[in-house]
Amino acid sequence: GFSEPVVVMNEKREDMFEASNTYKITGTNKYLTLIEAMGTSGRYFRAWTADRLDGTWQPVPGARMNMFAGAENVKFNGRTWSEGVSHGEMIRDGFDQTLSIDPCQPLRFLYQGAALEKGRKYDYIEVPYRLGVITATAPNAISALCSK
């Protein structure tokens, strides 16, 4: 069994929707959590850090609504094939149970996007999902934690 759950964050449904993922930041005593949200430009991920899993989670600074990845900061070469960033997962520093990410390496994020045709209505099962990988191209609040 498990102990009684501890609620560590609580926001409006659209601001904290689903697909929560938490990572240990290598070389620090910090954790990063990413949570999917829903906005006018589609799905996106928000980011927070904390010193403990049951500690106080602080918004990662630098973007409106502490956005990590979304339509406002994902750049495409050519045609934009996905308006939102959904169901993502960081490319980790290793492949063990610690779920560590290295702040000294460019952050990479695998996500699900949908290549929707303008004006077309889709049944959920028909949505043309694709996977994409995005890579941080500039310093950010997580890369600032690099101690090398």
92-139 pLDDT per residue, tens: 999 989 899 999 999 999 999 988 888 899 998 999 999 999 999 988
Domains located in the chain, CATH noted: 13-145 (2.115.10.20)
User: φ, ψ for residue 46 (rounded to 5)?
Assistant: -105, 160
> pTM for this structure?
0.89
CA of residue 138 relative to chain centroid, distance: 16
pLDDT in tens, 5-53: 888 899 999 999 998 999 999 999 999 999 999 988 889 999 999 999 9
The DSSP-derived string for 49-114 is EESSTTSPPEEPSSSGGGEEESTTT---SSS---S--EEEEEPPSSSSTT-EE-TTS--EEEEEEE
